[in-house]
Amino acid sequence: MAVLKKGAKGRDVEALQKALNKLGARPALDIDGDFGPKTEEAVRKFQKKAALKPDGQVGEMTQAAISFGGKLPEMTVMEYDSYMTAFLRIKALNAEDIASYVKIDAEIAKLSDTLAALAKRRDTLFKEAKSFWAEWERLGNAIIAKQTEFEKTLTKNPKAAERLVQDCVKLDKKFGKVLDGPAQKNIEKRRALSKGVRDALSTTTRVVNEHLAAIEKRKNG
């Protein structure tokens, strides 16, 4: 639909006047199909109520708000495009951490059964971590998909857009739980395990410390 503004006439204007009356325009507008000063003022009042620019013209956003019956829904979940870029960097650093521990394995291969047990435990934790990263990535991509759909749907179907906002809120909570719950415990266990490995590697302290220092640098970098 073309932008409706002062001076416009026709059925679209009639439909606009009816909609504004239904939304409580005061004084009520005559349904005459003539976009005059009264219709323009009614549009401005509605735009202010709907948190839109009160220019008195009915463009795409104003028409969508009128159809919706008020202020359009807003996306309350942060933009995930840039966030996922940072996440993928973290994922890559995690892969580097795993590579460092593999090198440590070569140094501790000669050590006692205790160190072998610690290494086996560490491998289990990395497998668990891999599932956490996969779930985190899946949820992040799901949110991006819904946010993209939100942008396309907002003016065409605001109610559907509102449901997408609710979906994103739910996914966002799940996203946080992955990190704050089992993933965080996994990280804490890995750090505790690293300390146990350092204590046991009395004959390979230098090599182990080099790799652990590299892991720490990546964590803080």
What is the rounded distance in angstroms from the CA atom of residue 72 to the CA atom of residue 90? 36
Give the model's confidence band at 150: pLDDT under 50 very low, under 70 low, under 90 confident, else very high.
very high
Q: Encode pLDDT of 202-212 as tens digits.
A: 777 788 888 88
- How remote is the C-alpha of 207 from its chain's centroid? 40
Q: Encode pLDDT of 59-95 as tens digits.
A: 999 999 999 999 999 999 988 888 888 878 878 878 8
Helices (H) and strands (E) in the chain, counts: 8, 0
Residue with token string 């006047």 = 17
Whether the predicted pLDDT of 110 surpasses 80: no
Q: Encode pLDDT of 163-190 as tens digits.
A: 999 999 999 998 878 767 677 777 787 7
Give the model's confidence band at 2: pLDDT under 50 very low, under 70 low, under 90 confident, else very high.
confident
What percent of the chain lies above the pLDDT cut of 90? Answer: 45
**pTM for the whole thing?**
0.50
